[in-house]
Amino acid sequence: MSFRRQPNIICRWEPTELASTILSASSRQVIRSWISSKEFLDEHHDPVMLLMDSHATNSFSNLVQATDPDFAPTVVLNELLRKGVVEPLDSGYLMLRRSVYAPSQPRLPTEARGDQVSEFEDEMPRRRFNDAI
């Protein structure tokens, strides 16, 4: 699933290293959809809280099915709950913890990378804090 070519994708957030380390590939994909698909972001482009009720329009099940219809929402939800990535609220909503996503780093266009294109399209060296400007 390539987010670069889809018009309903916002690239404000990216998963943190924590999310990339502790989550399965399917759960990482669901998190990436949650933090980048317009339908799961609020007016400030922050991830919305989702209802745990699978029959609601803004439910966690809809997020999982929109990400990949082959994923089982309960399996993904159980992993996210077990790993502490989401928090169930008394109101019936599910909140994505802020430690799982961080502001996106600016990326150069592919053609501007020249010989630095890595084998992973999204992987790009980032400026270190002590790099000269």
19 occurs within a structural domain: yes
Closest CA to 44 of 31, 53, 54, 35: 35
* CATH number, position 43: 1.10.10
CA-wise closest residue to 94 among 34, 29, 19, 5: 34
Long-range contacts of 69-72 (CB under 8 A, 24+ apart): 71/26, 71/29, 71/30
Instruction: Going residue by residue through the chain, which has 133 residues, state the pLDDT in tens, using 9 for 90 and above.
Output: 444 445 678 788 999 998 889 999 999 999 999 999 999 999 999 999 999 987 888 899 999 999 999 999 999 999 999 999 999 999 999 999 999 999 987 665 655 545 444 444 444 444 444 444 4
pLDDT at 84: 94
Q: Is residue 1 part of a domain?
A: no
Q: Does any domain span residue 71?
A: yes
Q: For residue 109, what pLDDT is reported?
A: 60
pLDDT of 53: 82
**Number of separate domains in the chain:** 1
Is residue 51 included in any domain, yes or no?
yes
Domain assignment present for 129: no
Asked if residue 93 is part of any domain, the answer here is yes
> Would you state the pLDDT for residue 6?
57
